A = this chain, B = another copy of it.
Amino acid sequence: MPETRRDFLRKVGIAGGAGVMYGTMAALGLAPAAAQTPTYTAPHQGDLRGGPKTIIVLGAGIAGLTAAYELGKAGYKVTVLEARNRPGGRNWTVRGGTVETDLKGITQTADFSRGEYMNAGPARIPQHHITLDYCRELGVPIEAFANQNANAYLYREGDTALSNRAVRHRAAKADVYGYVSELLAKATDQGALDAHLTPEDKESLIEFLTDFGDIGPKVPGDPGASFRYTGSPRRGYKTPPGAGLQEGTELPPYALSDVLASGVGNYFSFEFGWDQAMMMFQPVGGMDRIPYAFEKAIGPEKITYGAKVLGLRNTSSGIEVDHMTWEGQIRRLQADFGICTLPPHIAATVPGNLPARTIEALKYAEPTDAGKMGIEYSRRWWELDHRIYGGITNTDTDLRNIWYPCSGFNGGHGTLIGYYNVGSQARRFGAMHPDQRLARALELGAQVHGPVYARDVSAAFSVDWASVEHSEGAWTAWPSQTDPRYKELLEPAGNIYFAGSHLSHAISWQHGAMVSARAVVTSLHSRVTRT
């Protein structure tokens, strides 16, 4: 009787019998998972032999939620105080009905259609970030985030043939890689690099460059004509390949000097950054699916919204927090420990008895400005007219980046990120009224996409993080992360711990907030179980 498929699978899969030789990663010196994410051992509930300890977490951003969730799992009694009326902090998804008044007193009401949204804060997740592990653990479905698209544009101001116009990524890349390959192949072949390359190296290098740059062969006796880049199908077509005899008409390459002078290559390295290389992800339905999943897992009753912290003090037996409720009442809470996840420049202003060196450390932090605008259109013209399905157009205008949506493909409405900028560009947009921001965004976007950019707009919402209450900045960096002031905040001030992405080497990422929170949980738990 023949063995069944399942029998067979069991045999080769588990027993790994004769004839099946498996390489072992350990033998090869590889430990792929360990090299991708920081290690963490969650505390166990059984560790708390002296009964549950009480914790007050200040802030229901990602650091606060992570700390509350991990401590809750280990048996701690956790209370989270949050000034906003929602979890997430800078993880903020703006939908139809979102109302926000900024620190200048300007109120915007988002009128995005049902299902449309903008992630005003974090919006993408690399594969190696533990954010994805929390998505798995908390049941938050994820989908691909398009951080790279050959059909998106590069737009550079200047005086070259490629300047002040939209250049497809694919064309810029083909030309830059083509010319780089031609030049290096020529130099290599002519012996200019013989001090650095063996004859075998030279042969392998030229073989690589021929494919990488789509360049021509060596022309014996004619160095000038050798290895020439004369364009490539990779860059796109005037008439694309089609039926029958339509083999396609390639677009000619841009000239070498124009390509180099234009700066179109200066964005390529973004694509292979440790934190930015594809594949990248986003939660289905908005980034705030993560904080809401945390809220559910922690227990909504353990989070007090609308609670403004008025005082934070170490006491002889623990900590004491005064806050004002949303009804305007002042309350005092006490606990064994506190975890402060407020932005450091805001935490520095909370009255209390934190040591002077802690306050000095908190003030050492430097908030960074960033701005984002969501623009909803009633027609997905970037797909229909430009064949751009997700991805990023990068400019050197004040828009900096335009993001095409990564969900709802081929649908009706769609919401672009009309700009995502930082620093002085963000400040120039931030200084405008939201209506003027939109007018300016449409003007600059039309430079890239043509008049279609200003048609069919159905809603818009903009965020200037410097003027967002409770944040006053997009993220918080440090002049130096080896400075004693930075190190000061890695240790508790009495019974008060500090957490947030600013206390990590993944600043501005949710991952940074999560690893920082885990470090505090580990430290706090170790202290509790030692005593």
List residues of chain A with CB under 8 Å of any chain B CB: 5-6, 8-9, 12-14, 16, 19-26, 28-30, 32-33, 35-38, 109, 111, 127-128, 132, 135-136, 141-144, 146, 148-151, 165-166, 168, 170, 173-174, 176-177, 180, 183-184, 186-188, 190, 192-193, 195-198, 200-201, 204-205, 207-209, 211-212, 214, 224, 233-234, 236-248, 251, 256-257, 260-261, 263, 265-266, 268-269, 272-274, 277-279, 281, 384-391, 406, 409-410, 435, 438-439, 442-443, 446-451, 453-460, 481-482, 487, 490, 503-506, 512, 515-516, 518-519
Contact = CB atoms under 8 A, between A and B. Distances in A.
A505 B279 contact: no
A234 B13 contact: no
Contacts of A190: 192
A269 B212 contact: yes
A144 B143 contact: yes
Given A127-B151, A141-B409, A151-B277, 20 more contacts: A9-B457, A14-B455, A20-B446, A21-B443, A23-B448, A30-B165, A36-B386, A37-B240, A143-B143, A148-B279, A183-B184, A200-B261, A204-B261, A204-B263, A205-B260, A234-B269, A242-B515, A243-B505, A246-B515, A278-B278
A35 B201 contact: no
Contacts of A279: 146, 148-151, 389-391
A468 to B, nearest CB: 19
A37 B387 contact: yes
Contacts of A193: 183, 186-187, 192
Contacts of A173: 272
A242 B209 CA distance: 37
Contacts of A146: 144, 278-279
Contact of A198 (B143, B257, B278): B257
A187 B248 CA distance: 37
- Counting chain B CB atoms within 10 Å of each CB, which of A150, A224, A266 scores highest? A150
Given A410-B132, A457-B13, A459-B9, A208 B241 contact: no
Contact of A386 (B32, B143, B168): B32
Nearest to A504: B243
